[in-house]
């Protein structure tokens, strides 16, 4: 123990880990959190009611866990998928019937997506009815609303990728609804589809949105969302 204490009081150790020893006061405990690369995301103090399961139902953490599952399964599905009209549907059939455990992989991705929409929506309801959007958490509430919209967009863009009849007509209906947005609806529809009707460009655009752009934006906002929750003294 003496050797460990001696090591922790050397200049080299103190230059890397700037926590003062011994840790005996609340200020020292706070500095451990603030000065740590891995611990600084955690709040120094947590309200007792925030630990209670009935306060949050852990809906935020469940949503994030489902998002991680979607990332992992999505990357694996990308290995067997080509965003081209002649091949997209056949690729999905191959994943389901040829690839080892492909059916399990696809169903895991699909049901995780459905559950994530459900849990994020419940999380928003919980925050609203618990009044957790009130000052000083207004900005984090806005981030949460944006994350809900991104979750819906991820589900919508991923819906076309199997390129079967169900997904084709679902996206067609959605694109036609967008067309009725005043002034810019037609342009948004054209930008979304890459033309006047669903085709190769539509599939590629939905693929890029679903696999690159939307997940990247969502990861950044999730990190910011978590950081604000922690700094407000809450848990996920």
Q: Which helix (H) or strand (E) holds 192?
A: helix 185-193
pLDDT of 19-38, one tens digit each? 666 677 777 777 777 777 66
Q: How confident is the model at residue 236 (pLDDT cuts 50, 70, 90)?
A: low
CB atoms within 10 A of CB 83: 21
pLDDT of 74-112, one tens digit each? 999 999 999 998 899 999 999 999 999 999 999 999 999
The pLDDT value given to residue 94: 95
pLDDT tops 60 at residue 15: yes
Domains for the chain: give ranges and CATH numbers.
2-29 (no CATH), 52-231 (1.20.810.10)
| Residue-averaged pLDDT of the chain | 88
pLDDT tops 90 at residue 136: no
Q: Identify whether the C-beta of residue 203 lies closer than 8 Å to the C-beta of residue 195.
A: no
Vertex 143 angle, CA 142 and 148, to 5° = 95
The pLDDT value given to residue 125: 95
The C-alpha atoms of residue 160 and residue 69 are separated, in whole angstroms, by 20
The C-alpha atoms of residue 99 and residue 36 are separated, in whole angstroms, by 44
The C-alpha atoms of residue 212 and residue 191 are separated, in whole angstroms, by 17
The pLDDT value given to residue 32: 74
Across 174-184, average pLDDT: 93
Is 32 strand, coil or helix?
Answer: helix
The pLDDT value given to residue 33: 73
pLDDT of 151-161, one tens digit each? 999 999 999 99
């Amino acid at each position: 123990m003496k050797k460990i204490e001696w090591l922790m009081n050397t200049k080299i150790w103190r230059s890397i880990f700037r926590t003062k020893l011994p840790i005996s006061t609340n200020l020292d405990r706070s500095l451990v959190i603030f000065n740590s690369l891995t611990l600084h995301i955690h709040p120094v103090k947590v309200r007792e009611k925030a630990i209670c399961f009935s306060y949050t139902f852990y809906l935020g953490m469940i949503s994030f866990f489902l998002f991680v599952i979607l990332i992992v399964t999505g990357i694996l599905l990308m290995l067997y998928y080509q965003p081209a009209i002649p091949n997209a549907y056949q690729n999905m059939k191959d994943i389901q019937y040829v690839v080892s455990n492909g059916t399990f992989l696809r169903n895991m991705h699909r049901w995780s997506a459905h559950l994530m929409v459900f849990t994020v929506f419940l999380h928003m309801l919980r925050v609203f009815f618990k009044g957790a959007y009130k000052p000083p958490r207004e900005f984090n509430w806005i981030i949460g609303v944006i994350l809900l919209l991104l979750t819906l967009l991820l589900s919508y863009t991923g819906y076309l990728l199997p390129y079967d009849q169900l997904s084709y007509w679902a996206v067609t209906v959605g694109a036609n609804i967008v067309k009725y947005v005043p002034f810019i609806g037609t342009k948004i529809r054209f930008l979304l589809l890459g033309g006047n009707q669903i085709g190769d460009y539509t599939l590629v655009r939905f693929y890029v949105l679903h696999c690159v752009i939307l997940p990247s934006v969502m990861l950044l906002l999730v990190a910011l969302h978590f950081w604000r929750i922690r700094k407000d003294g809450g848990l996920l």
